[in-house]
Amino acid sequence: MPISDRRDFLKFLAAGSVMSSAGLSPGMAFGQNGPHVVIIGGGTGGATAAKYLKMGDATIRVTVIETNQVYRRCYGSNEVLNGQFGIEDITITYDALQGKYGVEFIFDTVVGVDPQTRRITLKSGDKLGYDRLIVSPGIDFIWDGVDGYSEEVARQAMAHSWKAGEQTLLLRRQISDMPDGGTMIIVPPVNPYRCPPGPYERASLLAEVFQKEKPKAKILILDPKDGFAKDQPFMLGWNRMYVFQIPETKMDGMPDDISIFDTPGMIEWVSGSAGGTVEAVDAAAMTVTTEFGDTIHGDVINFIPPQKAAKLAFDMDLVDGNWCPINHLTMESTRHANIHVIGDSCIADVMPKSGYSANTQAKVVAAQILHLLRDEEPEEPTWANVCFSRVSSEYGVSVGGIYRLDHETGQIISTKGAGGVSPLNASHQFNRLEALYQEAWMENFVADSFG
Ligand SMILES: Cc1cc2nc3c(=O)[nH]c(=O)nc-3n(C[C@H](O)[C@H](O)[C@H](O)COP(=O)(O)OP(=O)(O)OC[C@H]3O[C@@H](n4cnc5c(N)ncnc54)[C@H](O)[C@@H]3O)c2cc1C
């Protein structure tokens, strides 16, 4: 299909997220005693890598070590919060990876890896060797950044709902119980974090149900940042749908037809410069206190903590600071040989921490590992990302990009002219289509990664 404009590009990306790496070129099969690639983490990155390794060469032994028997995906979890999906709709089994592709699974938790002897130790005490190891363990939270906040507070009172499962259900219950006229406070984290547009999509989807079910409710976003992914298209949509006052700093390029309101509507966004940074919380009083000293009560407080690479990455000495540095050509750790890090845990420069990114990084790493195992040169990698978000069920916005390696700096950079953000002068039909692409993307993406 020739791709002539941004709309074609989005349609293409929504269709199957296949654009990454030069592809799994057929090579010499290894036969009976093929090499053993072990993957830690059966989330989006790990599952995709397992599938594409086996598709590239079925004679390779691929083992995934995953703590949980099923995967609860985060994409779609905002739709559990608004009641569109049940938790079962975002629960994925590993049946297809095992049955269709012959990926082996060990349901256990990795507690240590010795990169010298290439031995993995599991919580059960079992040990396992590998030829190459892929690590895609996701994120963990920085609990001690804000006074009064802790893992316990998240579990009892102020759910983050940034890992899907129990937290999603807790926040869902709290939102359902919130009275009409109540205030929900959303506190997004500082960059970098998993799914940059996620908190704002959450606000949008909840505003849509509140309009019908709790029309006097308010969503107050207290943000430590002065901007966020797709902020202008989001704000334009909020202005059109939820009586949102667009701040002066975001007015540049806005179409003439935006409305100016005297009082805030259902969604209010307070930037870091305007006093949005939360410095303390009080779980008993259900309040947050901002950097400017304002103490605000919330009936529901969705505090999303700052993030870092998953604990395992720290235990394995794969981090520099909070995230894992890698050689971007092969996605191999710069700290330990034969260990590749992908997904949210790795430093992927301009690529956002998203499922889509994890998926294309997985395809790149699968291709490169096949080459390395055959003593071939790695191929030229390319990566892609598109994040669709819905401002309402009929109004979508997106941001997308194609990425390549800058061989001079070793960094992942954006390909000029590819991708971009939804235009502010888009027609109603365009935004409607973007909402449809989001739905199509989710279905295709799950099938591509796990099916
Ligand atoms: C609300 C929300 C909405 C989102 N929406 C989108 C979206 O629309 N589009 C998009 O592209 N992305 C979206 N994302 C982001 C996406 O979910 C993540 O970027 C993606 O899951 C990252 O994949 P990963 O493989 O790095 O980590 P995960 O998918 O989190 O997988 C990590 C896995 O590793 C396992 N693990 C960790 N440690 C160990 C250990 N020691 N031993 C064994 N197993 C272990 C975990 O159990 C887990 O299954 C969203 C995120 C949120 C929070």
Calpha distance 144→149 (Å, rounded): 7
Find how far residue 332's CA is from the centre of its chain.
21
Residue 4 has a pLDDT of: 46
312 CB near ligand 1 (under 6 Å): yes
Please tell me the pTM assigned to this model. Answer: 0.94
Work out the angle at residue 96's Cα, subtended by the Cα atoms of residues 92 and 102, and round it to the nearest 5 degrees.
Answer: 135
Calpha distance 367→400 (Å, rounded): 23
Q: What is the pLDDT of residues 145-173, one digit of tens each?
A: 899 999 999 999 999 999 999 999 999 99
Name the residue with tokens 């070590």. Answer: 65
Atom of ligand 1 nearest to the CA of 108: 43
Class of domain 6-140+308-450: alpha beta
Give residue 130 CA to ligand 1 midpoint distance, Å: 23
Give residue 215 CA to ligand 1 midpoint distance, Å: 33
Number of H helices, E strands in the chain: 11, 25
Residue 275 has a pLDDT of: 97
- Provide the pLDDT confidence category of residue 262 given band limits of 50, 70 and 90: confident
Could you tell me the fold of the domain covering 143-305?
A: FAD/NAD(P)-binding domain (3.50.50)
Are the C-beta atoms of 51 and 103 separated by less than 8 Å?
yes
Are the C-beta atoms of 219 and 210 separated by less than 8 Å?
yes
Calpha distance 196→165 (Å, rounded): 20
What number of other Cβ atoms are within 10 A of residue 30's Cβ? Answer: 16
- Provide the pLDDT confidence category of residue 257 given band limits of 50, 70 and 90: confident
Name the residue with tokens 């006052």. Answer: 245
Stretch 53-58: mean pLDDT, rounded? 96
Give residue 70 CA to ligand 1 midpoint distance, Å: 13
Q: What is the pLDDT of residues 1-53, one digit of tens each?
A: 344 455 555 555 555 444 444 344 445 567 667 899 999 999 999 999 999 99
In angstroms, the Cα distances linking 222 to 137, 297, 305, 355 are 29, 12, 13, 25
66 CB near ligand 1 (under 6 Å): yes
Q: What is the pLDDT of residues 283-296, one digit of tens each?
A: 999 999 999 999 99
**Residue 105 — φ and ψ, nearest 5°?**
-120, 140
Q: What is the pLDDT of residues 162-210, one digit of tens each?
A: 999 999 999 999 999 999 999 999 999 999 999 999 999 999 999 999 9
Residue 34 has a pLDDT of: 83
Give the tokens for residue 397: 């916005």
137 CB near ligand 1 (under 6 Å): yes
In angstroms, the Cα distances linking 246 to 30, 103, 120, 215, 271 are 59, 50, 52, 20, 12
Task: List every span in the chain annotated with CATH 3.50.50.60.
Answer: 6-140+308-450, 143-305
Who contacts 157 (Cβ-Cβ below 8 Å, separation ≥6)? 283, 286, 301
